[in-house]
């Protein structure tokens, strides 16, 4: 540990040697991806922090990591001894990086550097506004230094390149040409002749194309320019990319040349500042004046969130196939541990992954499997170590959060499993979190209701007992795309996006007691129309996930009649749907679990 601390201290010293007042190191990539490829895992390289969300700031006298409540425990552990201070986000006392920097320096001018390839236009504009309000024009300087760490990170990984897979209408329910025609009409409504797309999931959805440039996400690292006359895909190693008659392939590195040739064809250009990186934006500005660039949220985000009939068929199939794998895993885990076998968290994760890999159409996991026993489950995004992971014993609680990528859909499921005798507190917490999930599942709400307006339904059973959890309750799920997508969410943070029929969202309340245990129950739910009355149209949720919920440790006196009936009915459906696809011994085991 001491050697690692010296390593990270040395890297921070190298950054300070650049001579800037502050350097911002982003946790994302040139496409604002949640899961960046190793080349852009800069925060990890500098600090050792491995969480999926975090930004680092290094000044001459301070180094700080900004991350949210999912990673507080993890950050405290991984940053111990490095000299890097944790700054908490998504809490009432939060001080975001722009405001923190705006109050940090007594003398001017202040020089703040960042890698513009990994900072969105929106983030830089927010930073610029905060510094201007404090230091005034001329009192600060923003310095875009692309690939800022290259001089120090000598063994930095290269840009990834994977094979490209084109998907057809039979799989997607819609052709690439139909999607592009829709986008062109949307651009006409905005008075724009073209759109420059940078978000990898949007490009993958629009082109019906998939790859594996990023772990767990079937994306191809690229940019896309859509005009009223042409579609130009900027992707690496174009000679290896299948040619499509309606798509022009251009190398990832020739963006500037293409803009020089085609900027007149584009007319007014639409871009999304939340995903367009600042360095590329400056390139666009060479060919488009401010009045020729229209900023706004990409229309693709909402369009791909509302799944079509073929996609929903795929989701239902994926949840059945995935449920079979998870049931086989849970049977193996319970019988192995009861028999006295030495099973670690890592062993369990490997076995679950192997069961998913047997499914026809499997293309990998949708995120790193969280396999956590006992106190380790108190870290919501626990990273299971290959070496030295905890043994799963026949007592207490084990949490497994996992998912698969399939040609026909994406899954995300969490089950908290009683391994044997559980304490009164474990039983009580387990029951209350399940009540939270059920109460959200049973929600009926009017059309136009946003996820943030129903989030309280998934927290009330905890709130009334003075308990809570710090992460969101639900996120959108892509169709053989990212396991996390918007624009909808179910969380306390204000998000005006209404829930719409066709949206697939996770339902995953939790509770975490540091040093004791962590509990999370998660199903995927489909928003659907419930019915109409003189008061309008009402919506509800259909549960897609098909895997039983263990009722053996429920404190039934804490549950009301409708909650108890829901879990009984759900388990009966699971058994009926899966029994003929399981071996006789697993089917008998599941029947007992579903009584």
Considering the domain architecture, whether residues 24 and 137 belong to the same structural domain is answered as yes
pLDDT in tens, 381-399: 888 999 999 999 999 999 9
CATH number at residue 26: 3.40.350.10
* Cβ atoms of 43 and 65 closer than 8 Å: yes
Query: What is the model's pTM?
Result: 0.92
In a domain, 22, yes or no: yes
How do strand 485-490 and strand 397-402 relate by DSSP bridges?
unpaired
Question: Each residue of 484-521: pLDDT tens digit?
Answer: 999 999 999 899 999 999 999 999 999 999 999 999 99
Q: What is the number of domains present in the chain?
A: 3
Other C-beta atoms closer than 10 Å to the C-beta of 481 total 23
Residue 180 sits in the same domain as residue 86: no
Q: Where are the alpha helices (DSSP H) in 143-251?
A: 169-172, 176-189, 200-207
Confidence class of residue 153 from pLDDT cuts 50, 70 and 90? very high
What one-character-per-residue DSSP string does 524-586 give? EEEEEEEEEETTEEEEEEEE--------TT--GGGS-HHHHHHHHHHHHHHHHHHGGGS-HHH
Residue 108 lies in a domain: yes
Mean pLDDT over each residue of the chain, to the nearest integer: 93
Q: Is the same domain home to 226 and 102?
A: no
List, for residues 297-354, the tens digit of each pLDDT value: 999 999 999 999 999 999 999 999 999 999 999 999 999 999 999 999 999 999 999 9
Do 527 and 392 fall into the same domain? Answer: yes
Residue 183 to residue 292: CA distance in whole angstroms: 18
Residue 242 in this model has a pLDDT that exceeds 50? yes
Residue 387, domain member (yes or no):
yes
Q: Are residues 294 and 333 in the same domain?
A: no
Name the residue range of residue 229's domain.
165-304
Residue 470's contacts (CB-CB under 8 Å, 6 or more residues apart) are: 68, 69, 70, 72, 90, 91, 380, 512
Q: What pLDDT is attached to residue 473? A: 97
**Domain match, 481 and 577 both:** yes
Query: Domain for residue 541, yes or no?
Result: yes
227 is a domain residue: yes
- Give the Å distances, CA to CA, from 230 to 203, 239, 256: 15, 20, 17
Domain check: are 269 and 327 in the same one? no
Q: What pLDDT band is residue 73 in, cutting at 50, 70 and 90? A: confident
Geometric angle at alpha carbon 308, from 413 and 35, rounded to 5°: 45
Contact status, residue 432 vs residue 466, Cβ threshold 8 Å: no
Of 304, 320, 342, the one marking the end of a domain is 304
Q: Is the domain of 298 the same as that of 383?
A: no
């Amino acid at each position: 540990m001491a050697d690692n601390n010296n390593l990270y201290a040395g890297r921070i010293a190298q950054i300070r040697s650049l001579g800037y007042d502050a350097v911002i190191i982003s946790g994302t990539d040139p496409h604002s991806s949640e899961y960046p490829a190793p080349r852009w895992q800069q925060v990890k390289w500098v600090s050792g922090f491995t969480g999926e969300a975090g930004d680092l700031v290094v000044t001459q006298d301070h180094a700080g990591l900004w991350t949210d409540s999912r990673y507080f425990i993890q950050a405290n552990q991984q940053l111990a001894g490095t000299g890097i201070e944790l700054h908490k986000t998504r809490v009432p006392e939060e001080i975001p990086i722009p405001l923190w920097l705006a109050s940090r320096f007594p003398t001017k001018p202040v020089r703040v550097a960042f890698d513009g390839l990994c900072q969105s236009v929106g983030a830089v504009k927010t930073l610029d506004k905060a510094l201007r309000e404090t230091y005034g024009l001329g009192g600060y300087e923003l310095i875009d230094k692309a690939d800022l760490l290259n001089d120090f990170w000598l063994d930095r990984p290269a840009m990834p390149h994977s094979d490209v897979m084109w998907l057809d209408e039979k799989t997607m329910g819609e052709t690439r040409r139909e999607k592009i025609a829709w986008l062109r009409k949307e651009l006409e409504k905005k008075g724009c002749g073209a759109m420059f797309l940078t978000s990898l999931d949007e490009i993958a959805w629009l082109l019906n194309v998939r790859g594996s440039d990023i772990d767990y996400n079937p994306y191809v690292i690229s940019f896309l320019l859509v005009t009223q006359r042409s579609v130009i895909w900027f992707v690496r190693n174009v000679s290896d990319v299948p040619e499509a008659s309606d798509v022009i392939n251009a190398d990832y590195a020739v963006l500037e040349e293409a803009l020089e040739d085609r900027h007149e064809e584009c007319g007014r250009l639409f871009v999304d500042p939340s995903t367009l990186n600042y360095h590329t934006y400056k390139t666009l500005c060479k060919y488009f004046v401010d009045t020729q660039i229209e900023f706004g949220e990409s229309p693709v985000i909402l369009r791909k969130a509302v799944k079509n009939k073929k996609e929903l068929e795929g989701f239902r199939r994926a949840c059945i196939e995935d449920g079979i794998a998870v049931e086989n895993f849970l049977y193996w885990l319970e019988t192995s541990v009861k028999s006295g076998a030495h099973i670690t968290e890592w062993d369990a994760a490997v076995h679950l992954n192997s069961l998913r890999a047997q499914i026809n159409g499997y293309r990998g996991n949708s995120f790193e499997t969280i396999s956590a026993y006992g106190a380790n489950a108190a870290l919501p995004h626990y990273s299971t170590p290959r070496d030295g992971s905890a043994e799963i014993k026949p007592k207490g609680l084990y949490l497994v959060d996992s998912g698969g990528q399939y040609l026909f859909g994406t899954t995300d499921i969490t089950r908290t499993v009683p391994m044997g005798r559980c304490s009164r507190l474990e039983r009580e917490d387990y029951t209350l979190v399940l009540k939270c999930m059920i109460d959200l599942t049973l929600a009926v709400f009017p059309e136009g209701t946003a996820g943030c307006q129903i989030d309280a339904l998934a927290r009330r059973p905890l709130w009334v007992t003075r308990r809570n959890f710090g992460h969101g309750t639900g996120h959108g799920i892509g169709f053989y795309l990212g396991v996390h997508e918007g624009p909808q969410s179910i969380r306390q943070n204000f998000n005006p996006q209404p829930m719409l029929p066709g949206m697939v969202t996770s339902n995953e309340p939790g509770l975490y007691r540091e040093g004791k245990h962590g509990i999370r129950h998660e199903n995927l739910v489909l928003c659907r129309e419930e019915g109409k009355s003189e008061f309008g149209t009402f919506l509800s949720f259909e549960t897609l996930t098909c895997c039983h919920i263990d009722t053996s440790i429920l404190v039934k006196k804490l549950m009301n009649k409708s909650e108890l009936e829901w879990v009984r009915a759900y388990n009966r459906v699971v058994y009926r749907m899966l029994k003929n696809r399981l071996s006789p011994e697993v089917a008998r085991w599941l029947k007992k679990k579903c009584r």
